[in-house]
Amino acid sequence: MNAPPVTESFLFTPDGKILASASRDRAIKLWDAATGKELRTLTGHDGWVSSVAFSAHGKVLASGSADKTIKLWDVGTGQNLRTLTGHDGDVRSVAFNRAGKVLASGSDDAAARLWDVAAGLELCRLGGHAGGGPATSSVSRHRLWGVATLGARRQAE
């Protein structure tokens, strides 16, 4: 007997108008928060979707999946904007910084990764959680400062 898909994550857009739900059915659903009407279904992951995050303006949605990828979606059209790869385990959590320029992701590979959203590039890998070995030595203080200030620098450009 097949069990029904489990919903893993819910999140509202910053303005509270849209609700995203992530599920083990490999899909993300966007809902009108006022009416409960389904707006669209986002498909493309090859594994269950464990986490979703909206950018600060609510126009981009990030999703993390058991397929070891992060997808960035246009909330208005449902189009997959980009797929980020690099994790060696299921992606369990995703979060945007306040400016929406950097995305953090956490995975079963015991690492967090920071991504430049516009370029789709990995900025750095943060290791050292239980089972992940010692802290990653390739992440310098300068690099972390650069990641933290990326949003401010880009806004000034």
What is the extent of the structural domain holding 102? Answer: 7-156
pLDDT at 131: 54
- Is 56 a member of any domain? yes
* Tally of domains in the chain: 1
- Is 147 a member of any domain? yes
Mean pLDDT by runs of 10 across the 157 residues of the chain is: 68 95 92 96 94 95 95 97 94 93 91 93 81 34 44 42
Q: What is the CATH number of the domain that holds 56?
A: 2.130.10.10
What is the reported pTM? Answer: 0.80
Residue 71: CB atoms within 10 A of its CB come to 23
**Running DSSP on this structure, what letter comes out for residue 21?**
E
pLDDT at 155: 42
- Is 125 a member of any domain? yes
> Rounded to 10 degrees, what is the CA torsion of 46, 82, 54, 86?
70
Residue 44: CB atoms within 10 A of its CB come to 18
pLDDT at 130: 61
pLDDT at 109: 86
- Is 104 a member of any domain? yes
